[in-house]
Amino acid sequence: MKAALTLFKIRNIDISIHWSFPFIIVWTLLIMTIQQATVSQTLWAMLGISLVFICIVLHELGHALMAAHYGIKTKSITLLPIGGMANMQHMPEKPVQEIMISLAGPMMNIVLALLLLPFIKDYVPFWQFMDTFSYLDNSNMLLYIHTINVLLAIFNLIPAFPMDGGRVLRGIIAAYTSYGRATAIAAFIGRSIAIIFIIGGLLNFNLLLAVIGLFIVLSGRAEETLTFLRHHARGLLIGEIMTTDVLAFPSDLPLQTAARKIIHSPCSFFAIVYHGGAPAIASRTMLFQAMAGHPKDNTLNSITRTNKNILQAETPVDEVIDQLTADPEQAFPVMTGEQICGIVSLNNLSEHSLVFEEMEAGNSSQGRVPLVTLIILLLSTWMAAAQAQPDSSRNHQIWQHLLNGRPSDHWVAASSTPLPGALLPYKRIVAYYGNFYSSQMGILGALPPDSMLSRLKQEVTAWQLADPVLPVQPALHYIAVTAQKTGGADGKYRARMPDAQIDKAIELAARLNAIVILDIQVGLSSLEDEIPRLDKYLRLPQVHLGIDPEYSMKNLQVPCTCIGTYDANDINFAINHLAALVKNYQLPPKILVVHRFTRQMVTNYQDITLMPQVQVVMNMDGFGGPSLKRDSYNAYISREPVEFTGFKLFYKNDVNVGKHLMGPAEVLQLIPAPIYIQYQ
């Protein structure tokens, strides 16, 4: 936070005080003077204020420790006159994480209050404390600290966003709807409570309560905006949002000449190129201010360089969003190699977010929520769940889009509404497939992690441009159980990947906000033996399952010597197992990907029993030329419909055998257009 003085560090977290912090000391001294307190009483009061802020630091450390548990670092804790604020590296992405992190602060205060109870001789309830004691001293200091911690816990749990209770409320709402909409609802409720604080504070001459209300209004609005921008920054590169029409002037160009060149230009910023140095960005205002304050024959060198950061076009936006939001009036040069290729500011991200807002799943509004809806939400808690139900008309529209307007009678998913939290059909999944131990099994193991994620981002962008109707969800499809040509110790002809490798897939996916699909090649084992071993991962909301009939050797053949098979009963076991996990752990619907490129790979498809807790994708994963792949898709996926469809593209085999890698536009011509795209 700007204008904050760092006092010390705890666990590499800066503990700072805001410039306005001394106001609380001045306010306390003023109150003690008005009450004609003695020097001793004033010193006790100052000690009490210090202990309050120690409790606040511990409260914020509670948040920081819980955040660290979820892999989120806390940069600093800043003390304000009205409390504290933890500055985290990034906000939690999952509702459960936000709820737990938000509750950790008040829980720290509750623990402190309970620890002090045995040492308090004459206990007084917190609501009677102020009536019992006029001044602090050694007889009531422990009771005072206990009471402060109780009040901190209660006060912070008020559902006034962005206070802890408001964040818990947002997390609960976000479990049923989009994060942007949840933020808008929580912020509106917070503003309503803040207005009550302000009015109550003014009517009762309680300045602190009014200031807290004002803080809630301002900080809630700021965080609502920041959440909106962070949401739309995911998956974007600087090069995708920057202004490419750059006016660049040498630093020795006279101010007057630069002004004549820019006065008829719509550009708000321009680049100043220095000999042998990095470029800087200046605004029109800076140029004309320099002209007013310097002789007109001065050059652009007279403009003070304010931005020292140089951004790269391939840098993810979410890595630099703090720089963009720190000073909305600031702009940064964007480089490709040693050449300036653009200018970027917060305004670029804002404009991009507004343009592409309609591409969000369900077209749910990120802006203000109608007042009537919020009133109903406040009065009836069940309304939140009702609001979260995916729109059946939206589901129908998407299926009409996937089917290109053709009849959809034999596609069950087209006429049914998915459960809340379902990804399909509201997003198209684009997945990278493979195993980290092998460069031959897919793209996951063929490239270094950073290069792999960067290339996946490019594919996601390509698919988003090819079909703007559906937002694209990146995924890592990791083979967690691989078929083997040797029997192994138990003769099952399969190898189970160590937890460290699965954890690696989940960690890499988190960097891209991607889901994870764990694939099973059973060999001579069975789904009944292999799926339960992955339950600890499948209990995570972002982890799903894939099963590959090609390596299910029912006749005890050696894997890779012939093509295996699954019957509907096998697939039904997987569906039932996943459905039980969803019900028992209150998870969003799971996705089950079933590979297929021949008819015998899946027998009795018509007997597959669908359940609303599991979304089944039949994935055409044969390689070859476009005509062969289209024929396989039509024969084994489209004409034998189950629920959703997928299509695999092979970077090597499709090119080596079929001489052509199909692009998004070609794949989208299939009927129905696949909702799941896999690259190997």
Mean pLDDT value across residues 111-135: 79
Fold of 420-679: TIM Barrel (3.20.20)
Mean pLDDT value across residues 599-615: 95
Mean pLDDT taken over the chain: 84
Q: Is the pLDDT of residue 678 over 80?
A: yes
Amino acid code (one letter) for 48: G
Mean pLDDT value across residues 52-59: 90
Location of structure tokens 């799943």: 361
H or E element, residue 387? helix 382-388
- Interacting residues of 370 by C-beta distance below 8 A, sequence separation 6+: none
Q: What gap in Å lies between CA 101 and CA 38, rounded to an integer?
A: 42
Q: What gap in Å lies between CA 176 and CA 419, rounded to an integer?
A: 10
Q: Is the pLDDT of residue 306 over 70?
A: no
Q: Check: CB of residue 565 under 8 Å from CB of residue 554.
A: yes
Strand partners, 556: none
At residue 385, the pLDDT reads 36
At residue 631, the pLDDT reads 93
Cβ burial, residue 431 (10 Å; 0-12/13-18/19+): buried
pLDDT tier for residue 39 given thresholds of 50, 70 and 90: confident
Q: For 251-260, 263-272, 613-622, which range has the lowest pLDDT when averaged over its residues?
A: 263-272
Q: Is the pLDDT of residue 10 over 70?
A: yes
Q: Check: CB of residue 479 under 8 Å from CB of residue 441.
A: yes
Q: Is the pTM of this model over 0.85?
A: no
Dihedral sign, Cα of residue 437, residue 441, residue 447, residue 450: negative
At residue 307, the pLDDT reads 59
The DSSP letter of residue 123 is -
Q: What gap in Å lies between CA 263 and CA 370, rounded to an integer?
A: 43
Q: For 150-154, 428-432, 534-538, which range has the lowest pLDDT when averaged over its residues?
A: 150-154
The closest alpha carbon to 235, from 504, 543, 454, belongs to 454
Location of structure tokens 């990034």: 90
At residue 355, the pLDDT reads 61
Phi, psi angle pair for 518, to nearest 5°:
-90, 120
- Domain residues of the chain, as ranges? 4-233, 238-355, 420-679
Q: Is the pLDDT of residue 366 over 70?
A: no
Residue 68 CB: number of other CB atoms within 10 A? Answer: 15
78: helix, coil or strand?
A: strand
Percentage of residues in the chain with pLDDT exceeding 90?
42
CATH superfamily of 238-355: CBS-domain (3.10.580.10)
At residue 600, the pLDDT reads 93
